[in-house]
Amino acid sequence: MRTFGKLVMLGAACLSLTACEKAQKVAATAAGLPTDENVLFWTQDQRDNAFRQMEVLATTRTIEAGNNIRKLEEGEPLPDTLKTENGDLNIDDYMASQRLAGLVILQDGKIRLEEYRMDFDRNHRWTSFSVAKSLVSSLVGAAIKDGFIKSIDDPLTDYIPELKGSGYDGVTVEQLLTMTSGVKWNEDYGDKGSDVARFNNTKSKDGVDPVILYMKTLVNEAEPGTRWQYNTGETNLIGVLVAKATGKSLSEYLSEKIWKPYGMANDAVWILNDGGKEIGGCCISATTRDFALFGQFAMNGGKIGDKYVVPEDWFAQAGTKQADIRQPGAGYGYQWWTFDDGSFAAQGIFGQGIFIDPKRKLVIAGNGNWPSATPEEKKNERNAFYRAIQAYLDSEAAPAEDKNAPAKDESAPAGEQN
């Protein structure tokens, strides 16, 4: 989770900073939008309203879609009710409990389920929070394929020399991707003195990206590669890495490499920081169907037509366990949560997610608004839903007597979300 800096309300013309802030708050209040900068303190109604229009609250850059929209065929519809280890699970009840605005399930590239609630539809955008982490890490693969980044074994300081003399001396690009830098970091969202809270308040100085200004102050407390620690600031550094290496904005590069050629149906938007750069660790707003298409792109190994956008083995590595997160059956890849059954996922607070199961050619994309950022009961309920879908797909080819068997808790997707 991150705060967004001062909210920039469209159409507010101000003669002074104080007048501007007052006008922004009046406009936000009138529109039912939050005026607090920290999403954790927004009311549920404010989040319902804001998550679908983050470009009204913050400065963004457009991720342009192209003219050749990917056509998705309709597959056999999934049943309204699924069997789980806890009993029957109705899709309507599940969406209501998860407070999902959109849910798209693709199997073998076909739509098995597409449902919307909360006055939301297939052409509306919803924010992603840390789902963006998995998208920005994929741009590292693209930059390697394009020759902008030589290798994930390269020192990070080869690409961001401003970090020399900091805790990132000796840290490789791969260690940044796997969050194993060993750099000291506090990701406690409830602590206003934590790094994740304070680094959002850093302002650009002399044209230097505020991400660099804050991250260069950090010290190393463990040998690089020996300890995993969740660190949103490091994903922001991945964004800096890609932008510096390619000489392009993240939005431009994502549009060029994936959004346009893969055939996303709608433009997306990416929130910018105080320095006018995309926030690598957060805040892409897109349609639920386009998030599902990104999952399909990743499941297919990053191949578009007959060409790979990333190295051929990129997603085989990115979506498998590269770091031990001390949770049974789970791990961390290149900014993806990984599971021992071969599935992997992008996850964001308040119920955003893309779940990918290559074995079953399955992609599940959901966007919603949980009652709080990371409630355990909602994560467990979602995991049970994933398992139920997997079990049903397995049963389709099984004898008729096996089709009503409840899903078993085998893959147990987990993972802390941000």
Q: What is the average per-residue pLDDT within 54-83?
A: 96
pTM of the model: 0.90
With vertex at residue 58, the alpha carbon angle to CA 255 and CA 297, rounded to the nearest 5 degrees, is 25
Residue 1: band (very low, low, confident or very high) from pLDDT cuts 50, 70, 90: very low
Q: Are 150 and 202 in contact (CB under 8 A)?
A: no
Q: Could you report the per-residue pLDDT of 121-138, keeping only the tens digit for each? A: 999 999 999 999 999 999
Query: Among the residues of 303-375, which ranges form H helices?
Result: 314-318
> Could you give the CA distance from residue 354 to residue 275 in angstroms, rounded to a whole number?
29
Q: What is the average per-residue pLDDT within 263-276?
A: 96
List Cβ neighbours of 34 (8 Å cut-off, separation of 6 or more): 28, 41, 42, 43, 46, 47, 50, 57
| Residue range 20-402 in CATH 3.40.710.10 | yes
With H, G, I as helix, E, B as strand and everything else as coil, classify residue 279: coil
- How confident is the prediction for the chain on average, in pLDDT? 89
